[in-house]
Amino acid sequence: MSNKNLKSKFQRKSIDYAFFLLNLRDQSVGEMRNKLKKKGYERAEIDETIKTLKEKKFLDDERFVENLIRTKLEIMNFGKQRIWQDLKKKFIANDLIDEALSNIEKDDEKESAKEAMRRYVKKRGQPKEYKDKQKLIAYLQRRGFSWEVIEKIIG
């Protein structure tokens, strides 16, 4: 077997593994690079696999960020700060995160916070005492909402 065929066969394995990962869920470029590296593929193979996946639009950090933000904001009811942290864990560049988060309307984040508060109150009851209100505030802060947003919805 020639060296070129061996390289092509090895890349085929790395791209197969990449498709396996993408079949589980969308991945950022950084996540994919990290997972391929952990699996033992060489840097050149990883670069070639990622280049191929980007060319064919299987890997797209902008799309990944948009989808993750939509999910975290609308379904999981997280605030901008928590979303920023989650995106950093996915190896997304700071400028891409900042740009995407700047597109979130204040009202959208406020609605997400209201929904998070509604779920909290449904589960634990309306906070009556100061201590209970502090617990609600801490819960919303852990979900990534700023004091400005929390203050608006708690009143």
- Sign, CA dihedral 104-108-114-117, equals negative
- Rounded Cα distance between 70 and 101, Å, is 11
Do 119 and 98 reside in the same domain of the chain? no
Do 55 and 87 reside in the same domain of the chain? no
Q: 53 versus 2: which is more confidently predicted?
A: 53
Q: What is the pLDDT of residue 155?
A: 76
Encode pLDDT of 92-116 as tens digits.
999 999 999 999 998 999 999 999 9
Question: Which amino acid makes up residue 137?
Answer: I
Whether the CB-CB separation of 91 and 28 falls below 8 Å is answered with yes
Do 15 and 32 reside in the same domain of the chain? yes
Please state the rounded mean pLDDT for residues 77-88: 97
Joined together, the tokens standing for residue 102 give 């700047």
pLDDT band, residue 8 (cuts 50/70/90) = low
Number of domains in the chain: 3
Domain that holds residue 37: 3-59
pLDDT at 3 over 50: no
Task: Report CA 73 to chain centroid distance, whole Å.
Answer: 11
The domain that holds 39 is classified in CATH as: 1.10.10
pLDDT band, residue 62 (cuts 50/70/90) = very high
